Amino acid sequence: MPAHAAARRLTTVLTAAVTASGLLGAVALPADAAIRISKVRYDAKGTDTTSNVNGEYVEITNTGNKGKRLSGWQLKDDTGHTFTFPSFKLGSGRTVTVRTGEGGNTGRTLYWGQGWHVWNNTGDVAKLKKPSGTTADTCRWGDGTGVTAC
């Protein structure tokens, strides 16, 4: 193949790649893309008893630049145990911790109200669902250290 034909082919391929990457970069993310599961403590320290249920928790982070109302959103495990967010707004750059057990809700911590451990220590999946039922984020783990970053 002559050098000018090879150069022309390479130019065509590179132009197509740059054009495609520009188009992919222009795709808009969903408005809720900034709401993420950031961490799951699925195995409370010590033996699982009713006294350490709040040692299990899920952290939800708003990485966006605007606050987001999470009222009606849901956090679910793989078997369908469901926490529904109360009237709540997660500020920009903020994290809320959803603890499995009982307690008084604050701007930084919400309580599921369970009397038992929900998250499976040997593998499970946390699913964050919008009120419409669509999945906003998931975090999956196997048998590990008891905590996972998502």
Q: Is 84 helix (H, G, I), strand (E, B) or coil?
A: strand
Look up residue 113 and give its two tokens. 């109200």
Residue range 61-65: mean pLDDT, rounded? 96
Architecture per CATH, 35-149: Sandwich (2.60)
Residue 32's pLDDT band, with cuts at 50, 70 and 90, is low
Order of strands, sheet of 147-149, starting from the edge strand that comes earlier in the sequence:
109-111, 95-99, 57-62, 35-41, 147-149
Please report where in the chains the tokens 């495609």 appear, as a residue: 20
User: Cα(88)–Cα(93) distance, rounded to whole angstroms?
Assistant: 15
Which pLDDT tens digit goes with each residue over 80-113? 999 999 999 999 999 999 999 999 999 999 999 9
User: Cα(40)–Cα(31) distance, rounded to whole angstroms?
Assistant: 23
Sequence ranges of the domains in the chain: 1-30, 35-149
Closest CA to 117 of 62, 42, 65: 42
